[in-house]
Amino acid sequence: MAVEYRDLPFNEAIAFFRNKVNLPSARWTDVWKQSHDSAFMVAGAAKADLLNDLRAAIDEAISQGTTLEQFRKRFDETVARTGWDYRGARGWRTRVIYETNLRTAYAAGRHAQLTDPDLLRVRPYWRYLHGGSADPRPEHLAWDGMVLPANDPWWDEHYPPNGWGCNCKVVAVGPDDLKRLGKDQPDPSPEITRQPWEDTTGARQEDVPEGVDPGFNYPPGRSVADRTRATVERKRAALPDALGNAMMSEIAARLREDPGKLE
């Protein structure tokens, strides 16, 4: 399923992407898991002007809603100007760059919203929803509709996207929502089965959970959020109580998501 603009444009996703720094790379494994929270890379793109052009095109897609076809036009112009000899077919390569960056930005923005303390107080559970792809992974179908506490360790490696092309997502759930779903309590946390994996160069070796592609077993944006919260708490501690509470209330108001209807 293709990424659509209506799924993406909100401030947290835009801020997540714009706070990254460009990082030249030779292989897709050069930047690994949560390091993507801070670095923008495209495998094999090592020149500054090339990275800047690709980044600008992705930024436009996230913030303004340009389509995959529009991105491909910008991609072709960049390749012609820089002489980049990229690997893989154009259609496949452009889709991977476009959709992976948009999906992880969306996921990071959602994670920032879902972990707002005010929201967690009233909706302390997360529900996994399958994205409806035409060729679904059986594990993702098995997780569809599952509700776990937001702090369940299972999310540490299964917060979507869980692989190339994965369009699954997470929504917040409260006690009343559980009842409407016919549940008295959250579901049991699934048992994690791991498979050994090694990249073609031998540089990366890891036991990866079944149903999750290598490199996707982390929650996008969490490492940045953790650092931000630590900084905010330090600043709050240095302020008088009234000013500190006012600052936290303003931050919460900016981050808070209107839960809306249960999806």
3-state secondary structure of 148: strand
In a domain, 71, yes or no: yes
Q: How many CB atoms lie within 10 A of CB 252?
A: 13
3-state helix, strand, coil in the chain (%, to 5): 50, 10, 40
* Burial label, 48 (beta-carbon count in 10 A; 0-12, 13-18, 19+): exposed
Each residue's pLDDT expressed in tens, for the chain with a length of 263 residues? 455 444 444 788 999 999 999 999 999 999 999 999 999 999 999 999 999 999 999 999 999 989 999 999 999 999 999 999 999 999 999 999 999 999 999 999 999 889 989 899 999 999 999 988 778 899 999 999 999 999 999 999 999 999 999 999 999 999 999 999 999 999 999 999 999 999 998 889 999 999 999 999 999 998 865 555 555 556 556 667 776 666 666 655 554 443 333 34
- Residue 92 maps to a domain: yes
Tens digit of each residue's pLDDT (9 = 90 or more) over 94-128? 999 999 999 999 999 999 889 989 899 999 999 99
The two tokens of residue 23 are 């990082």
CB atoms near residue 77 (< 10 Å): 12
Which tokens sit at 26? Answer: 């030779």
Residues 214, 204: contact at Cβ < 8 Å?
A: yes
248 lies in some domain: no
Domain assignment of residue 75, yes or no:
yes
Judge whether 97 lies within some domain.
yes
Within a domain: residue 262? no
**Cα–Cα distance between 68 and 191 in angstroms, integer?**
37
Position 260 in a domain? no
Task: State the chain's maximal CA–CA distance in angstroms.
Answer: 60
Residue 169 resides in a domain: no
| Number of domains the chain contains | 1
Q: Domain of residue 33: give its range.
A: 5-107
Residue partners of 224: CB distance under 8 A and separation at least 6: 16, 19, 37, 38, 108
Residue spans of beta strands (DSSP E) within the chain:
21-22, 39-40, 125-129, 147-149, 169-173, 194-198, 205-209
Of 187, 174, 112, nearest to 143 (Cα)? 187
Q: Which two tokens stand for residue 6?
A: 């209506």
